[in-house]
Amino acid sequence: MKRTILIYLALLALFGSGIFFAIRQGQHLPAPSAENPLAAGVTALPSPSDTTSLWSPLSANLKEPLGRLLLQVIVILLATRAVGAVFARCGQPSVVGEVLAGILLGPSLLGWLWPAASGFIFPTESLGVLRLLSQIGVCLFMFVVGLEMDLNHLRQKAHTAVLVSHIGILVSFFLGVVTALFVYSNYSAPGTSFTPFALFMGIAMSITAFPVLAHILKERGIAKTFLGSTALTCAAVNDATAWAILAFVVATAHAGNFAITAFYLALVVVFVAVMLFVVRPQLPRWLAVERLEAGGPKRGAMAAVLLLILAAALTTELIGIRALFGAFLAGVVMPQKKEFREYLIVRLENFSSLFLLPLFFAFSGLRTHVGLLNDTTSWLVCLAIIAVATLGKLGGTMVTARLTGMNWNDAFALGALMNTRGLVELVALNIGYDLGILPPRIFAMMVLMALVTTFLTGPLLNLAERAKRRGAPAVATS
């Protein structure tokens, strides 16, 4: 041991001295000239005199793009996890708390109470990177939504699910378009034509958050019941239909005339046909699903899945209907082998929901300025939007379900579940915001509508359960 220590100290002294004298010698060399062609394009380092204090380098490093992004991610994850946990303890879906946390980090609270901190953590010039990361999270989320759709299960209950879902969509869409008649002149963005504005109001009223609904059913232990399976099937049909309508609306908003609109829609139809009738039948063979071990897909198969997600997302982004539609369809066409889908869901859902989706909540929250609702009229309009959205989705679904033979309690509970909007609503609203169709004030109202309708799901289900135990319908009937 002593011999080893002596050798170590001797070598340390020898080479340490060599380094010291080499640096001393280098200090006498002439400095490089700016005219040196070998130094072209090289940025000079700041001189030591630029440092005014010990903390200046730390502050400067924190203002670098990577340092700023890491700070934003830490703040967002802490806020969304904390508020989401509080809501989960109160019997609400954690996603409601996570969305609310995103709003609290924006101008509605943090920017209002502490504008200096808000400006330091979320400066406007840094939001581009945050937006891109959040869009990747949304694409992975939509892929998982597509994965969780069991097409075989949909075919088994297609008649009831299609009737209930589509009537619910039609009623909600109609009420959304009628609402647009009253708010267009005073609340739409300058230069926005009525048609895309009305279509976005209609689609925003029509959406059901399939993943949030599934989470509620699992938490309550009713996913396998008649009500639960019916709700899941109806929500899956609703989501697939709503995304198809939204793709049409986005294509219409991008196009300048009928010919361009028809061209975009033709491209969408061709892409969907290729995915469903060419890619889907061949995927099990391409991915060698039958040869996969019980431990899950091989690295090559996982890489192929990720490439398919990216290629599908890129295709729909090029068409002009947003990357998330391609990611959603990539999930739908995945092989039906249960173990394969569960493996993908566990890996991708955990990563997207725990890391990337909170960034989307925060980015949406930074766009949501509740302070814009600064008069009684704006709040009355917001309350009216919430009431109309609830009436259309809950009422339309409930009445249609009752006509198919459900009792009033189950029909009311199904309507309450279909009124759940949550994260999926935010995705649609952000598309409308990006296209300039939904201005900040209407965007804030619609985000509040998504939060309130999702928050109401639990209390309304409790009301239906209490009425069922008493043997009375949850809604009065004559």
pLDDT in tens, the chain (478 residues): 788 888 889 999 999 999 989 988 888 888 776 666 655 555 555 555 544 566 667 777 777 888 888 999 999 999 999 998 898 888 787 888 888 888 899 888 888 888 988 888 898 888 888 888 888 888 888 888 888 776 665 565 566 778 888 888 899 999 999 999 999 988 888 888 888 899 889 988 988 887 778 777 777 777 777 788 788 788 878 877 887 788 777 777 765 566 777 777 788 889 989 998 999 988 888 887 766 655 556 677 888 889 999 999 999 888 877 788 888 889 888 888 877 888 888 888 778 888 888 888 888 888 888 888 888 999 999 999 999 999 999 999 999 988 888 888 889 999 999 998 877 788 888 888 888 888 999 999 999 999 899 889 888 988 888 888 777 666 655 4
Angle between helices 323-332 and 127-147 (to 10 degrees): 20
Taking CB atoms within 8 Å and a gap of at least 24, the contacts of 433-439 are 433/367, 435/196, 435/250, 435/253, 435/254, 436/189, 436/192, 437/188, 437/189, 437/192, 437/196, 437/197, 437/200, 437/253, 438/189, 438/197, 438/200, 439/187, 439/188, 439/189, 439/192
pTM as predicted: 0.78
Amino acid at 2: K
CATH of the domain spanning 94-470, picked from 1.10.10.60, 3.10.150.10, 1.20.1530.20, 3.40.50.150: 1.20.1530.20
DSSP structure class, residue 437:
S
- Whole-number Å distance between alpha carbons of 444 and 430: 11
- Whole-number Å distance between alpha carbons of 446 and 173: 14
Instruction: Choose among 82, 43, 66, 57: nearest CA to 358.
Output: 82
